[in-house]
Structure 1
Amino acid sequence: MKKYISTLFAFGALLFLGASCENDAELTYLKEVNFPADIKIAPSSKIVLLEDKADDNAITISWEAVTFPIEAPVTYAVQFDVPADITGSSAWLKATRFEVGQDVLSKSFSVRDLNKIATDLGLQPNSAGKLIVRVEAAMDRKVFSNNVELTVTPFEKSIVFGEIYMPGAYQGEWDVNSASVLTAIEKGVYQGYVTVLPGYGPVFKVNTARNWAEFYGAGTGEGTIQKMSDADLKLPGTGSYQVKVNLNTLKWSATAYAWGIVGTAQSGGWDKSTPMNYDHQTKTWKITADLVPGALKFRLNDNWSVNYGPKDATTNTINRDDQGAYTITEAGTYEVTFTIVETDPATAGYPATATCTIIKK
């Protein structure tokens, strides 16, 4: 009898648990979730992109909040694809995706950004083509908005050459002959890198040649430059920066930017990088640091979105997103260098390989 009662109790408990699970599922995952309305494209879903307007806003995509049965932040992303790739078993697998963030309800794309998206997805320059855009909302599952069609005419990016120069107090003396180089990345748009060490000033000018015949200083508005202006341009302070100068729009910007060493061989472990300094004369990132036995690799801006490690630790070639690391076997002071063909962080188009040296002093 006791055995029968025990069996009956166990069976009842299983039924109760099963019912509870079914109720939970009905309340969360099984409840239908949808976008409450179609996404909006402004100012137009028909866009002709022009290279001399590369910094202008091309489109802003916005949407209404999606309500999930669980009360928690919703992560949104925007996806672009071409009409031929949004159906069938491989639908949207080739899409270009941009994560927007938690509870953020819009995303803007510059002319430059949208041109890259369009050409990467195969649209031909100077010819109108179709893109399909949708928004993804994710929490305990992913749901998608209705598709919206864009007609985009991309431009063919000019092949550009040339450089301008950045003499300033970061050098210790204003020497245009040894100043940091800003390299042309688009027609009239230049990009370069600089480190302001403690004790050095943050001010500089921009010269079009290795002389003072033509230079640019600060303009009257924030982030602007003016030809032959005596007012200095000014970086935020000590640290490393990516500097961009647009001679088309007479604007400039400085963004905090540094490659660093990361791993158990350096003081921050795997959680915090030790930033390197940019040597503008050799175009190399460098650091002299006290290391302990452990692992060492490289990453950008103290996060893992762009990082490099060696496939073969016996060489000085390092590979993007490789899990490998160098092994420091002996504690001591080391000079570490990192050399890479830099790119714009907005494009995430960093090269497959870079090079480094790790030398015990």
Structure 2
Amino acid sequence: MKKISIQIIYAFLLTSLFLGCKKDASTNIVVPPKGSSMVFKSSVSSVVLTAATDASNVVTFSFNAADFGVSIVPTYSLEFDLPADTSGANAWGNAVIVKLPAGTLSKTYLGADFNSLLSNQLMLPTGAVSTLVVRLKAEVNQNTGAASVIKPIYSSLTLTVNPYKATIEYPALMVRGGNSWKTPAVRTNGFVLTSSKFNAKYEGYLNLPNADGYGGDAFQLVSSKDAAKVYGWGGTATTMSLTGGNLYLTPAPAYMKVNADVDALTITYTPVKFFISGDDNGWSTSATPLVYNATTMKWVASNVSLTAGKTFVFTANGSYDISYKVDATGALVFAGAPTWGGINIPITKTGVFTVTLDLSAGDGNYTYSIK
């Protein structure tokens, strides 16, 4: 009798174990939901951006959590692209991807941030209406962060956007030609040094044509904050004063990077020629030169072969001491000595392009384009 009871107990335990395992298996099956179940939506269908909207919330993208049938936390990202790039073999290949923090089910953009994404990263035309496609991606990654075998799900929407050209008018030192060298009477790109940190340090790029200066070009620098402050000769080629005559920078004619400090009353200048250095030319600092156009005041390189997924940097004079990359928003930033910062400029499309570098608006407003 005792033996039979033990057998019954064993049978009961085995049956319970089997049913328990079966139940566990049935509740751990991953079932990818449909993209529509996330109810992905935008707070507005059209966004018009101006300087007045920089500090305002202009659009919020929101969605429901994706239910894969098990207790897992998906990773979400938003992909921004143009309609023409959302189909074909390389669909969404040029999208700007914004990963969302874990547990986040919405993303709100300030006007300044959204404008930067549109104009700097997607390079949409400013002052014009464009159609933007936004795709929500939900995916299940491994513990290591690597992709899993579970296919991601997507949901897309469209809206119209109208970004604006954001140019901050920083304090400036305006070039006033000396002797017979005529320069614009008002603040003009190509004839300014700017203070991007709103302090005593000013920077810009000037094309000095050697009009009639003593070994260089004769000019003075007029403060945009106080027209009575006119900086001129300080006794040497690298010093300034408020009582001196014309500044004479050499060598000239030359295109120069100019830095001035109105507290220390110093000025320095470096003749520069720019190049494209990147994956596509083996990071050569001389193989792909840009040519300065004195009329447009821009550096241009035509027929440049670039490959999607690769990167490049603007370099000068055969080194990286004076070089430009981009920051996290896609804006062009100084990346040379002694800071050595920035992110390599990403290439989003494969083809042959015209690359332009525009340094005419002064420090803080340097830009580039790939067309």
Normalising by structure 2, we get a TM-score of 0.40
Larger Rg: 2
Normalising by structure 1, we get a TM-score of 0.41
